[in-house]
Amino acid sequence: MRRAGVLLHVTALPGTPACGTFGAAAHKWVDALASQGIQAWQVLPLAPTDGLGSPYSAPSAFALNPW
């Protein structure tokens, strides 16, 4: 059986003015994935974002985002 998944960082979702959260937008995202038969949402390490909001140049891969 085949499965499909999506790789999307949480900060790409709507949320605070600075970045996305696991709030209402994330719940809608998961509902949309499920309605299309997507079975996995892979999240990159949650770390503090840089000054421009990018999670890809974070100082630590083990620190949680304070936002």
Specify the pTM.
0.59
pLDDT of residue 22: 79
Query: How high is the pLDDT of residue 62?
Result: 58
**Per-residue pLDDT tens over the stretch 8-38:** 877 788 877 767 777 888 889 889 988 988 8
Q: What is the pLDDT of residue 65?
A: 56
In the chain, where are the structural domains located?
5-57
* pLDDT > 90 in the chain, percent: 4
With a CB cutoff of 8 Å and minimum separation 6, the contacts of 4 are 37, 38, 39, 40
Give the DSSP letter string of 3-66.
--EEE--GGGSSBSSS-B-SSHHHHHHHHHHHHTT--EEE--------TTS-GGG-S-TTSPP-
